[in-house]
Amino acid sequence: MYELPIAAIQLYQVVPIFVFLGVLAFFWFLVDFFTRDAKGNAEVRLDSLNERMRMMATGDTEKPSDFLNQALEKATPALSKHLQPQNEVERSKLKQRLTEAGFRSEEAGNVFLAIKMLGAICGLILGGGLGLLTSGFSPMVFLRILLGGGIGFFIPEFILSSLGSGRKKQITLALPDCLDLLVVSVEAGLGLDQGIRKVADEMKSTYPVLVEELQLSTLHLQMGRKRAQVLQELGARTGVEDLRTLSSLLIQADKFGSGVAQALRVQSESMRTKRQQIAEEKAAKTAVKLIFPLVIFIFPGVFVVLVGPAAIQMARDMFPAMSGK
């Protein structure tokens, strides 16, 4: 009498799992189809043989991370192909965002777009799997699949924006101290190029983000590029408004032959004042931000401790039967 309902319930529970596995296999087939190498099997085997011979000759051993990197390198062009910018303006914006976040490689754009595609695929799979396991095969599954894909697609965008904002903040906070050292170096007799190199050497452990940008500018100067062009690229590459202002100020001082040390001193004082104002603004917002944790976490406990005994006494006075009298 009870065997048929139990079998039916077990079959109902197993069907979503098989559907999820089918969807997972379908997405795996799509990924394998779009990322498959265009070379023939013979060429692939020859490349693998050559790579092994090279490793045996050099004594290198292949690590799992190397295999993963090779797989990602092969899959990146295919995954990012459908998300490539359509015009030069969009391509420049994407490159600028990646540069502000610290990614300057030529393949950074393709890697970022490939990560977005992988995030969307993983979100689709996870959303569909969780939907099938929780609610079974229902119309809500498709909504959860789309929601998971959208979340996985936009998570890399959020991470990139956070990295860019963090780098800009670090550069803004580091500028006044680096400018003070640059003023001292210039007033001691060093040129602007040597002063920038000195600041990069001395501030390497304290402000690594700004020092990285200064070292790149120093390398460009050593390669023979014009100072005005290097300074202009320094301000545009980081996306920090204060650094752009400083670059314009140095270009103008170099062009008209005015005192660089005095201009740097004025700019350093201005940036230090701005940094102090930012700290004061954050301190003023602290009282408002503390209201929510006070109301949610601290006030209920204080309310129970202070009002609880009085409420118990009032309840005993108003309802003697509850007090046992």
For residue 257, being part of any structural domain is answered with yes
Same domain, 133 and 176: no
3-state DSSP helix/strand/coil % of the chain, to nearest 5: 85, 0, 15
Q: How many domains is the chain partitioned into structurally?
A: 2
Same domain, 218 and 116: no
51 in helix, strand or coil?
Answer: helix
State the Cα–Cα distance between residues 14 and 161, nearest whole angstrom.
42
Which residue, 156, 181, 140, is CA-closest to 97?
156
Same domain, 243 and 130: no
| Amino acid 125: pLDDT | 82
| Amino acid 49: pLDDT | 58
For residue 277, being part of any structural domain is answered with yes
For residue 309, being part of any structural domain is answered with no
| Amino acid 148: pLDDT | 83
| Domain endpoint, select from 120, 137, 154 | 137
How many CB atoms are located within 10 Å of the residue 6 CB? 9
Distance from the first to the final alpha carbon of the chain: 58
Domain that residue 230 falls in? 169-285
Same domain, 175 and 117: no
Same domain, 119 and 222: no
Continuous segment of H or E residues that includes residue 153: helix 139-187
Could you tell me the two tokens for 275?
């940094």
Amino acid identity of 152?
Answer: G
**In order along the chain (325 residues), what is the average pLDDT of each group of 10 residues?**
46 59 64 51 55 54 53 70 81 87 83 86 81 71 81 89 89 86 85 85 86 87 85 85 84 76 81 85 86 84 83 78 56
| Amino acid 37: pLDDT | 47
| Domain endpoint, select from 137, 159, 178 | 137
For residue 41, being part of any structural domain is answered with yes
179 in helix, strand or coil?
Answer: helix
Cβ atoms of 186 and 261 within 8 Å: the answer is yes
Same domain, 193 and 254: yes
| Amino acid 242: pLDDT | 83
Q: Between vectors from CA 192 to CA 190 and to CA 194, what angle results, nearest 5°?
A: 55
Same domain, 183 and 256: yes
Report in angstroms the alpha-carbon separations of 301 from 294, 298, 305, 306: 10, 6, 6, 9
For residue 317, being part of any structural domain is answered with no
Same domain, 82 and 184: no
For residue 321, being part of any structural domain is answered with no
Please list, in sequence order, all residues whose beta carbon lies within 8 angstroms of the beta carbon of residue 182, skipping any fewer than 6 positions away: 195, 196, 198, 199, 264
Same domain, 279 and 182: yes
Same domain, 194 and 277: yes
Same domain, 131 and 215: no
Does the pTM of the predicted model rise above 0.85? no
DSSP state of 61: -
Same domain, 118 and 221: no
For residue 183, being part of any structural domain is answered with yes
For residue 204, being part of any structural domain is answered with yes
